[in-house]
Amino acid sequence: MFFFVGLAVVFGCVFGGYIMAGGKMAPIIKAAPIEGFIIVGSAIGAQLIGNSIGIFKGAIGGMVKCIKGPTYKGSDYLDLILMVGKLLNVMKKEGAVALEAHVENPDSSAIFGEYPKLAKDHAIVHMICDTLRLVVIAQGNLDADAVDDVMKSAIKTHHHDELKYQGTLASIAGALPALGIVACVLGVVKTMGAIDQPPPVLGGLIGSALVGTFLGVFVAYGVFDPLASRLGQIIDEDGQVFKVINEMIVNTLRGHPVPLVIEAARSVISHHNQPGFAEVFDGLRGK
């Protein structure tokens, strides 16, 4: 919603101010398709040269994510804490070996099945299962600090990979002004080929060329740069799910009481998504 509001404000202020100053939209509308084809097309091509197809697709998906917003809301964080908490309760009551059925076949796990949205996120499932698998193999005899180090390394790697998508959008934003100049220069070359034409014709050709510079700068700083910034915010926020998993598993392995484990998990969640302590505690007790 805010994405479209912001986009409307950007376009409204730029073109509205231009029209209020007496500018005519006809020259821009006439030149925009060709200039835009040169600028946007070359920007996409440059990213295909500089990135793998996976990263390029991820950047496109990141643009969609900017429109939809973060994947996880407050209720999802509550579900995550409850899901991990139930798995850890199985370990406490039945021993580490009892987790094997859940971590080896999460698709058939009754606990994962209670939370379909989280179970569909392979990164979350892998983070939980890969870590708890170590607990199963070691039959609970694991150094909590060593597990903490392994999990934080995995989280850092995942976060770094996600930021590559933001980097691609930022790279597009950085390239567009220069590519706008390229389009403008080509327009000037075209104009010089018609130097014998009367001033009104030359004025139209020069105006069309300058539209290229305008579009490059406008799309870069009015669209793609804000998109890259927003995607970075979303990646950071969605990354909190992994910190929750880390805090719950590590603090449980350290033997901390349930209230402290809950508070440790809540502490890494942004306040607007943070579930209440009472609802988490009651949820884990089955109320």
Residue range 66-95, pLDDT digits in tens: 999 999 998 999 999 999 999 998 888 888
The Cβ of residue 221 has, within 10 Å, a number of other Cβ atoms equal to 14
Q: What is the pLDDT of residue 170?
A: 95
Quick: pLDDT tens for 210-249: 999 999 999 999 999 999 999 999 999 999 999 999 999 9
What are the C-alpha distances in Å from 53 to residues 121, 165, 170, 231, 255? 21, 11, 17, 19, 45
Distance of CA 206 to the CA centre of its chain: 40
pTM, to two decimals: 0.87
146: enclosing H helix or E strand: helix 144-192
> Exposed, middle or buried: residue 224 (CB in 10 Å: 0-12, 13-18, 19+)?
buried
Q: What is the pLDDT of residue 247?
A: 95
